[in-house]
Amino acid sequence: MNNQKWLSLNFFAFFFTWGVFLPYWTGWLTNEKGLSVSAASVIMGAGMVARSLSTLFFFPLLTRLFSLGRLMQILAIASFAAMALYIPANSYTLLFIITFAFSFIYPNLLPAMESGATVLMQTDRIHYGKSRSYGSLGYTIALLIVGAATAIWQENAILWIMLLGLLFMAITQSLASPVPLQSRPAPRTKKGPSATAELLKSKGFITVLVVSILLQGAHAAYYNYGFIYLQDIGVNSFYIGLILNVAVIFEIVFFVKADTLFEKWSVSSMFLLAGIGSTVRWILIFLFPSVWVFILAQTLHALSFGVAHFAFIRYIFKKLDPLNIPAAQGMYAALGMSLSVALLTFIGGYLYEIAPGYSFLGMAASSFPAVVLVLLTRKRFAY
């Protein structure tokens, strides 16, 4: 199996499980374990804290101990083992501990896989977008399978689909990883700064990270309240699943074409496009509470998420030393994909109680400053 196919297969396997855990786990805790929504939310919130701390501090440490290929194998097996602990667990305390432990282990697969992809871009010139599109495809298929399975076997099916997905991922990771990912990291000198310390000294990297945090965090209202919002404007639950998948379909199309479409684009230009697309997306939903406008806004997910993510990957591919890539991915996963979303979820929830549309307008207040920041810094840091 060539490196491009290996990466595509593993992106598919990971994001299939991501498509089960991310949107459905709170519902599984409430329906199958009998927790209240508030109790399940506390558990999932603690899990998000674990995810943030783990990807920020634990993941860079692991990359100094293991090669990326070996690390992904260990994490996949450990994630399956942790998930299996849910089967006998029924008490709130046990569910809390298991969720915290699982969230401390499992999400590290994402920065590990993204780091591996960036290394392969540098060593083998693989097409990132092509392989990443298989991840989006896996996410979409997971949504469809869980929807069909829960209609037949109720929410109990969610756990078993997740276990099967993790088992499949462990099997794919057991295949021989690409040679560049089998190399153990070179030890740093005792006097040399850590990768994280080096990155924190780079004003260019910090600027790009802040832009990414603002743009990815702006999806908080969509991720957490999109389903409820569509219910509030009278959309049938069956159609809500289809509408939410529109965003992923456009994301897939984007990643398939990204390597060629944006080959000559600068990172700052991509961030500007993402920021403008994101701002327009949230303002449209605020101004026009209509299912058709919401569907139209879904097409902008390719810009608000896809282009923003691709721009960050392009930046670290072009600008960073390979030894610093895992730390950069850990910071991005922790701050851009976790903490920013968590913070803006609280703000979005407060605004949603005032008026549903205000929650999305609040997200535009996060994405628009990213546009301003790029305009002010693109020439200074040449990105």
Domains and CATH numbers, the chain: 1-187 (1.20.1250.20), 192-383 (1.20.1250.20)
Core vs surface per residue 284-306: b (16+ CB within 10 A) or e: bbbeeeeeeebbebbebbbbbbb
pLDDT at 337: 86
Label residue 185 by pLDDT band (50, 70, 90): low
Quick: pLDDT tens for 267-282: 999 999 999 999 999 9
Label residue 38 by pLDDT band (50, 70, 90): confident
Distance CA 226, CA 213 (A): 20
pTM: 0.81
Distance CA 185, CA 321 (A): 12
The dihedral built from the CA positions of residue 246, 251, 252 and 254, taken in this order, carries a sign that is positive
pLDDT at 288: 94
Label residue 43 by pLDDT band (50, 70, 90): confident
Torsion angles phi and psi, residue 374, rounded to 5: -65, -45
Helices 340-354/37-53 angle, 10° precision = 150
Q: Position of tokens 């196919």?
A: 5
